[in-house]
Structure 1
């Protein structure tokens, strides 16, 4: 899921925050970037450094690519090494009335 609606303007030059919600109710956070986006950020911020927590670089930010990379991280068993666990469905989304994965999966 996306904390804000998916609003990628250029799949080759943008970044997007994501929440990964697992069936066991765990919620992880990450930010996806493209290389071109990092280059543009570096150039506009004087190029001294670039840093982002829970960052993953993708070739493009199409919804298909995002879905494929999340599936790959899960199948490789490294999701918790790439992104940070931020809580459970209940603790992260209780303000929406969501208490478990079934509430999210119907969203």
Structure 2
């Protein structure tokens, strides 16, 4: 994990502009390193968890909003590329990245065209 060269994909950036609120949102984040390792986590803003809790109270889901969970959940103040990059770099620097993100199968060489030329060693 000591290699800071990484590519970060944020699902929310694929959505229509102005279709989501960076302060009240959740999104999957995939980080790929030069060694082809792929890692995923689901980011939720604190406000989004509260919004989902109120929705669940109304719909009856999650025991009427009495609990909430998500696999690979990371709570964050705001969902933006800048903030997510800061967090990823912080986790790497403090050797916590592998504790927060979940490893997925490595990137196959057939997917190289989805990454900048020369990204993988």
* Selected match of 2:69 from 51, 65, 90: 51
Name the residue aligned to 1:13.
24
Give the TM-score normalised by the residue count of structure 1: 0.81
Counterpart among 104, 108, 115 of residue 86 in structure 1: 104
Separation (CA, whole Å) in 2 of partners of 1:49 and 1:5: 25
* 1:35-80 superposed Cα distances (whole Å, 9 cap, x missing partner): 0000000110121211011111111011100111111111111111
TM-score (norm 2): 0.73
Flag structure 1 segments of 5+ consecutive residues without an equivalent.
Answer: none
Residue of structure 1 equivalent to 2:60:
none
CA distance in structure 2 between the aligned counterparts of 1:11 and 1:50, rounded to whole angstroms: 20
RMSD: 2.3
Shift of 1:103: 5.5
Query: Which of residues 82, 98, 102 is equivalent to 1:64?
Result: 82
Q: Secondary structure at the match of 1:88?
A: coil
Is the Cα contact below 8 Å between 2:10 and 2:81 reproduced in 1?
Answer: no
Report the CA distance shift for 1:105/1:79 in structure 2 as closer, same or farther (over 3 A). farther
**Residue 2 (str. 1) matches residue 4 (str. 2):** no
> What are the Cα deviations for residues 75-99 of structure 1, in whole angstroms up to 9, with x where unaligned?
1111111111011111xxx6xx315
Structure 2: 5+ residue stretches without partners: 1-7, 58-64
